[in-house]
Amino acid sequence: MANPTLETLRSAILDSVKGRKLGLSPAGYLQGQLASVETQSGLAATTTLISTATAALTAYGVSLVGSTITSGATSYTLANPVPGVSKKLINISSGTATVTLDSTAAGQAICSTVGSTGAILTFSGKGASIELLGLSTLHYQVVSNLSGSTGTKLVTIA
């Protein structure tokens, strides 16, 4: 099916969840919704960045990270990955933020290229972002890593 419209997808629903608005396709895929909304964490009272040394990040949704001059805290801990689940991290401050994998899981790693792994993400500057995909309960795979205008990675993995 090339470039299906929302109406075409909804018409192909076999098992309905919510009338024609959401259901399963003949192949078993969920279809018919306008878009998916992901959970977002990292802001308190919708405007204040949560940047405490004990900030724990979930393995799903979007997490806003960063550092302010007054907080001085830039360290976060990322929960163990869930296979098949996407995680997005975005630095919304001009400071540097560090995200470390949950150290309770021996062998946990972020795979960035073939044979290259690490356990610490460093976000350099406002807008630095990365999308990870859980491959197993121990490994994340980098799906995208936003580069700066000079081609340098704004998120480094060590």
Q: Give tens-digit pLDDT for 94-108.
A: 778 888 887 666 677
Q: How far is CA 98 from CA 11, 31, 49, 72, 126, in A?
A: 46, 37, 14, 12, 13
Q: Give tens-digit pLDDT for 62-76.
A: 888 887 655 555 788
pLDDT band for position 122 (50/70/90)? confident
Tokens of 130: 């990365």
Residue 1: the pLDDT is 47
Q: What number is the average pLDDT over the span 122-137? A: 86
Fold entry, domain 40-157:
Jelly Rolls (2.60.120)
Q: State the average pLDDT for the chain.
A: 77
pLDDT band for position 3 (50/70/90)? low
Exposure string over 56-71, b if 16+ CB within 10 A, otherwise e:
ebebbbbbbbbbeeeb
Pick the residue with more confidence: 74 or 151?
74
For CATH 2.60.120, list the domain ranges present in the chain.
40-157
pTM recorded for the entire structure: 0.75
At residue 145, does pLDDT exceed 60?
A: yes
Residue 87: the pLDDT is 93
Q: 113, 110, 68: which is closest to 92 by C-alpha?
A: 68
